[in-house]
Structure 1
Amino acid sequence: MRIRTPLLAVVATGLLAASLAGCGARDESTTESSAASPCTGSSSADAADPSELTLALVPSGDANKLVETVKPLQDALTERLGIPVRGVITQDYQAAVEAIGANQAQIGMLPPLQMVQACNKYGAEPALQTVRKGKTTYAAQFYTNNPDKYCDDAPVTGANGLLYCNGTESGTGPAGLDSLSKMNGAKTVMLQSASSAGFVFPSAALKEAGIDSTTDLDLTQVTSHPAAVLSVNNGDDEVGVSFWDARETVVADTPDVAKNLVVFALTNEIPNDGVSISSSLSPDLQQRISDAMEDYASTPEGVEALTAIYQITGLDKADPAALQQAQTEADTIGLGN
């Protein structure tokens, strides 16, 4: 297995950006919840409002660009809450969870698996889930530069100008999973094991097809969905996985993605990422943060800013039971809390 891990370059430009790695973990004995029941989080009833709030975001694509695009959200929350809010970009998904656990961040925009883990380990409230294209779920996709091998029908062009086969153009999974058995031994690019769409759900689908993603593939792991797309587009790998449809994040700068790559399979639906809020805050402040983010997401400028950050078009109340499905899927491939 090969791991390509480009250095995460985070540059402060009117925004404090930090790599929060190796944060001290709190005692988990009183915060661990049963995996059988969805975690809803906790709060600190008598906590005074802090003098500052830190919003942790996980890296996605160009970290330097994320530093700039998060600033409008940071400013909007500061205005609505009356408390200064600063954004930080963490080193990776798990660093964001540990930042919340160590109270180095009080708000986290996290993938679903990390929302569950932050709740189970540290009592962080899963407050909101993102909406994209009218959905609070999405599928992970398998895409290839070798459609003759993986497509059972002719590729079709979707409404976004990208190519799909095996009934995947709707973006709703599952679809095309019978083709996964052809991947045995294939050069494949995935994300790190903490990624729901970039590793967990695709690995679970491969396991159902009789393929172990870590031993039966010629596997490369990268740190972002755009990097995975570009790896397959460049011919370094034959198959890649990502959220649906990560090709849209790179096609403007790399237009040949539209003709080179074909999506051929979709996993089961994955609960969308969302917003977790630290248990160190009072229930009143937790609610004010949630309300402020929902309010901002309902405005045109909020939609524009959130779309620039993580392609978010809205925010809804979180569904802890739906989020728990991400942990359940991780358990099937041996990635427990």
Structure 2
Amino acid sequence: MKSLLRLTAVTALAVLPLLAACGGGDTATNADGGACPNGKVRFGVEPYEDPAKLKPAYEVLAGALEEKLGCPVELQVVEDYSAEVLAMRNGRLEIAQFGPLGFVFASTKAGAEPMVSFADASGALTTYTGGIWVPAASPIQSIADLKGKSLALSSAGSTSGDALPRYALAQAGIAESDLEINYAGGHPEALLALTNGKVDAAEINSQQLATAEAEGQFDKTKFRQVWTSDPIPNDPITIASSLDPAFKKKVADALLDLSPEAVAQVGAFLDVTPPGPLVAVTKETYRPLFDLADKLGLTEKDV
């Protein structure tokens, strides 16, 4: 079976340049001293949804951040979790949004420092849940009934689509060899594996569920949820710890000053509707994910 976080040889980034209204050279010249390392800020996003859908949503957020910073912001959608960690570690990303478990390893291997995450209209940090779903007529009533069945998971390294379901299986006393685990390649693909009858069960987290229902791709009346995780704090947007402290504060302040409208399209992918402004988070916010990594026995070799 694949390790929880795949070591990939893929280091190339799928660069999606932000088409900014202002010229990069003039903006960098007018920025405060030290506010624009290397003439731009590179913002990485992991592909937790179809990149073609993520790109326009994140361009809105990146454009608003660029305006606040007075510094060009270049959007990059990376290949996967491992590529994003590698890019920040190698100085090719100044800021990056990670999934909660991805942040655990980005923190230890790339010096990623959390700045902000996504809040609801009341200003409270939002959460989501992992879930396992089966057809409504399935005899599977709980996660314990998955023995001998096939289960579609998202992709190796996903918090809700890999780590938490596997931990739940272990807690239920089911060895991974007792069932057939298939990595579908992403949350949308895991959902499709279930709706197309390719597997007996699939992980569908609450974020993907909301997106699929809104797009008319999933009818809950035809399926049933047999397991739900504890709430997971939403993705952090992080910054490389090696950067100048004054610049790090400038970026954090700019993110916290973004309007709800600037983050609304991204928030919709994260089931944050209606969104509020971004809110500050710290490493302690994600302590349960560090604990989960310890319980699963993950080491540096898993990155």
TM-score above 0.5: yes
1:274 aligns with 2:236: yes
Following superposition, the deviation at residue 264 of structure 1 comes to: 2.1
Following superposition, the deviation at residue 254 of structure 1 comes to: 4.0
Secondary structure of 2:165 counterpart: helix
The equivalent residue for 1:94 is 82
Aligned partners of 1:235 and 1:132: how far apart in 2? Answer: 35
Following superposition, the deviation at residue 143 of structure 1 comes to: 0.9
The equivalent residue for 1:81 is 69
The equivalent residue for 1:142 is 132
Following superposition, the deviation at residue 248 of structure 1 comes to: 2.0
Aligned partners of 1:302 and 1:282: how far apart in 2? Answer: 26
The equivalent residue for 1:72 is 60
Residues 14 and 76, structure 2, Cα contact 8 Å, conserved in 1:
no
Aligned partners of 1:135 and 1:261: how far apart in 2? Answer: 29
1:185 aligns with 2:173: no
Deviations 1:81-107 (A, max 9, x none): 011001000000121111111110110
Aligned partners of 1:323 and 1:330: how far apart in 2? Answer: 11
Deviations 1:279-336 (A, max 9, x none): 231111111111211211xx24224233245444342221322313213212322323
1:117 aligns with 2:95: no
Match of 2:198 among 236, 258, 283: 236
Following superposition, the deviation at residue 147 of structure 1 comes to: 4.7
- CA change 1:235–1:254 in 2 (3 A) is farther
1:294 aligns with 2:256: yes
Following superposition, the deviation at residue 278 of structure 1 comes to: 0.7
Residues 132 and 226, structure 2, Cα contact 8 Å, conserved in 1:
yes
Deviations 1:181-227 (A, max 9, x none): 101121110022211100111111110001133x2221110222111
- Larger relative helix fraction: 2
Residues 212 and 218, structure 2, Cα contact 8 Å, conserved in 1:
no
- CA change 1:97–1:86 in 2 (3 A) is same
- CA change 1:309–1:80 in 2 (3 A) is farther
The equivalent residue for 1:60 is 48
Q: How does 1:19-38 map to 2 (within 5 A)?
A: none
1:334 aligns with 2:297: yes
The equivalent residue for 2:208 is 246
1:197 aligns with 2:160: yes
The equivalent residue for 1:306 is 266
- CA change 1:109–1:118 in 2 (3 A) is same
Following superposition, the deviation at residue 131 of structure 1 comes to: 3.0
- CA change 1:295–1:14 in 2 (3 A) is closer
TM-score after normalising by structure 1:
0.73
1:321 aligns with 2:284: yes
Residues 203 and 212, structure 1, Cα contact 8 Å, conserved in 2:
no
TM-score after normalising by structure 2:
0.81
Consecutive unaligned residues in structure 1, runs of 5 or more: 3-8, 17-45, 152-178
Percent identity of paired positions between Structure 1 and Structure 2: 28
Consecutive unaligned residues in structure 2, runs of 5 or more: 3-12, 21-32
Aligned partners of 2:175 and 2:18: how far apart in 1? Answer: 45
Residues 69 and 305, structure 1, Cα contact 8 Å, conserved in 2:
yes
Residues 129 and 319, structure 1, Cα contact 8 Å, conserved in 2:
no
Aligned partners of 2:270 and 2:97: how far apart in 1? Answer: 10
Match of 2:174 among 191, 199, 211: 211
- CA change 1:135–1:84 in 2 (3 A) is closer
Greater Cα shift, 299-308 or 190-199: 299-308
Secondary structure of 1:335 counterpart: coil
- CA change 1:252–1:321 in 2 (3 A) is closer
